[in-house]
Amino acid sequence: MGVSPFETVSMGNFRVHVCPTEKFKTTTIAAMIQQELTPETVTKTALLPNVLQRGTVSYPSTLQLKRKLEDLYGATLYTDVFKRGERHIMHVGLEIANGRYLSESPKLLREGTAFLMEVLTRPVTEDGGFRRAYVEAEKKNLKQKIDSLLDDKIRYAAQRCVAEMCDKEPFGLFVYGRTEDLPSIDPDNLYTYYRQVIETRPIDFFFVGNVSVDEVAALVRELFPYAEGERPPVEVKREQPAVDRVKEVVERLDVIQGKLNMGCRTGATIRDDDYISLLMYNGILGGFPHSKLFMNVREKASLAYYASSRLESHKGILTIQSGIEIANYRKALDIIQKQLDAMRKGDISDRELSQTRATLSNQLRERQDRPYELIDFAYHSILSGRDWTIDRLLKGIEEVNKEDVRRVAERVQLDTIYFLRDKGGTADGAN
């Protein structure tokens, strides 16, 4: 049912995934490094990619690094971290022009790959650790990024809901870590941590562009120096905690609009056969503008400025987010819970089913039009241990019926209700 566009080559203790295609005029290269999501490592993991992109042995200053990117015909270097269930992923990537379209530089793939490998494996050092000025600057930047979460109340409420729901699980940790960890991180212990990560954590390289598998494999084999040694898989807990009672949390800040967020345990993940039905469940409930939450909570009842749901497929958590008038807390909570009940009863119209099929399918097809999306989709499949392909999902979406969605809905349990409200007054029972 469809073949992945990537061909995978295992090399020693890491893997290279190549998608040869003439669809793009650029070549996208990405390194994905897995780490366990833990309180002890979350902040170092978040800090590390930012320090790596400050300078290398050959390009020790940020200015020299930028000039090298200009020499590579305006290449773009990017880094980030993200969560996939209880894995913390470091992402370092490079987008370069394809040398085949530049007669002056047929060796651009080699130069780009060598540059990315240098960023990953030959960072600038000082007295046996990272350069102090870079570490201190990036600690300051990371602190600002963590602190700025409070300025974006939609993101803040989403993270607080997950943190409350998963307060005894690693998934509750914020992807960018904790400010209280920063003072104890120094150039030496961060460099020691970096060596442990680069030498022992699972790593996958992705290449998308007009390239050949053999050419890429030969380049990576030559340029990546850490192919020896063990890279044990990152262990993640599969069990979902039982929901004994619904946790209700009210937080008061200086806000005008209330944020009502809810966290549900679905009992299914991307590893399960019910994954496609779960995608459809989320789409019908709140994934799109035609979904129940948007139509019933926002449009018909006028109780929310926005109302939607999203799925974290590796953790098996579904979150609902809405912006409401503070006084409408109980009414909004009631009507959202009615949408969850309707899903359990299989109260799904043919129109909701067909619109969700069409919108979800279009979303998946569009993922084939962007290199980063192709990589992200392939990496989801790798982490899940399932050979999901876009064609396989599209076929499954066409075959899912109301009963499949209702069966998934029966397992969804509301775990946590989080309400962010103002500092004064009462809100229809939310104190």
Domain spans in the chain, listed from the N-terminal domain onward: 7-223, 247-421
pLDDT in tens, 184-237: 999 999 999 999 999 999 999 999 999 999 999 999 999 999 988 889 999 888
**Distances in Å between the alpha carbon of 193 and those of 42, 185, 205?**
12, 10, 21
Token pair 């939607």 is found at: 308
Q: At what angle do helices 350-366 and 275-282 cross, to 10 degrees?
A: 110
pLDDT in tens, 106-127: 689 999 999 999 999 999 999 9
Please determine whether the domains at 7-223 and 247-421 fall in the same fold group of CATH: yes
| pLDDT value for 192 | 98
pLDDT-derived band at 430, boundaries 50, 70, 90: low
**Number of other residues whose CB lies within 10 A of the CB of residue 200:** 15
pLDDT in tens, 8-54: 999 988 999 999 999 999 999 999 999 999 999 999 999 999 999 99
Write the DSSP string, 221-282. Answer: HHH----SS--PPPP---PPPP--S-EEEEEE-S-SSEEEEEEEE-S--TTSTTHHHHHHHH
Rounded CA-CA distance 317/312 in Å is 5
pTM of the model: 0.94
Q: Give SS3 for 162.
A: helix
Give me the phi and psi of 187, to 5 degrees please. Answer: -55, -35
- Tokens, residue 94: 């490079």
Q: Is the pLDDT of residue 100 over 80?
A: no
CB under 8 Å to 137, separation ≥6 — which residues? 54
Question: Of 226 and 282, which is predicted with more confidence?
Answer: 282
The correct CATH number of 7-223 out of 1.20.1440.230, 3.30.830.10, 1.10.357.10, 3.50.50.60 is 3.30.830.10
Token pair 């120096």 is found at: 225
Write the DSSP string, 175-230. Answer: TT--GGGGGG--HHHHHHHHHHHHHHS-EEEEEEES--HHHHHHHHHHH----SS-
Domain 247-421 bears CATH identifier 3.40.50.12640: no
Q: Is the pLDDT of residue 426 over 90?
A: no
Q: Give SS3 for 412.
A: coil
Rounded CA-CA distance 153/425 in Å is 20
Note every long-range contact of 221-227, with CB atoms under 8 Å and residues 24 or more positions apart, other chains counting: 221/11, 223/113, 223/114, 223/117, 224/11, 224/14, 224/117, 224/120, 224/121, 225/121, 226/13, 226/14, 226/121, 226/198, 226/199, 227/11, 227/12, 227/13, 227/14
Q: Is the pLDDT of residue 377 over 80?
A: yes
Q: What is the mean pLDDT of the chain?
A: 94
pLDDT in tens, 143-193: 999 999 999 999 999 999 999 999 999 999 999 999 999 999 999 999 999
